[in-house]
Amino acid sequence: MPDADALRRRMLSPWAMRAFMLARLPLAWFAGLRVEHLDDNRCAVSVPRGWRTQNPFRSTYFAALTMAAELSTGAPAMVAVQAAGVRISMLVTDVHGSFGKKATGRVVFRYEGVQAMSRVVQQAVESGEGVTVDAETVGRMADGTEVARFTFTWSFKKKAISPQT
């Protein structure tokens, strides 16, 4: 769908995405999150380590990691909703996270379930019912060390068309 492709290109454009985050996700903008990759298979979002994201223990604050993790699943969700061509509500209904190692550098969260998410959005369109998908994303530093693992439960439901008054 052309609108979905345009949205994907905007998310991958550093300037367009920064403008979007400044307007809609100011904390993500301030933290310096970046959508590094987004295609039909996976999404990668990075969070830098620095004074904006650092906790008192000199590692990346868990909230900054959680923001990047959510965006790595939320960006493909937004593209799938745009591709559906109808109005769909999307909402995180649950989140689980585990932290394995101290984040002492830039962390990249990779979500590999983009196709499954697209299928669930299409199911929401066809059924008219609310559907959910569990989206697992893993954050690693440049050396491959796993820092955190999150599972976000996304809910999608086709919006009812309200009658004109």
Cα–Cα distance, 135 to 50 (Å, whole number): 27
pTM (2 decimals)? Answer: 0.91
Task: Please say if the pLDDT value at position 121 is more than 90.
Answer: yes
Domains of the chain: 2-158 (3.10.129.10)
Q: pLDDT tens digits, residue range 54-87?
A: 989 889 999 999 999 999 999 999 999 999 989 9
Q: pLDDT tens digits, residue range 15-58?
A: 888 888 888 889 999 999 999 999 999 999 999 999 999 989 88
The dihedrals phi and psi of 102, each to the nearest 5 degrees, come to: -70, 130
Contacts of 14 (CB under 8 A, 6+ apart): 34
Q: Which sign, positive or negative, has the C-alpha torsion 84, 41, 48, 17?
A: negative
Q: Which sign, positive or negative, has the C-alpha torsion 149, 21, 80, 160?
A: positive
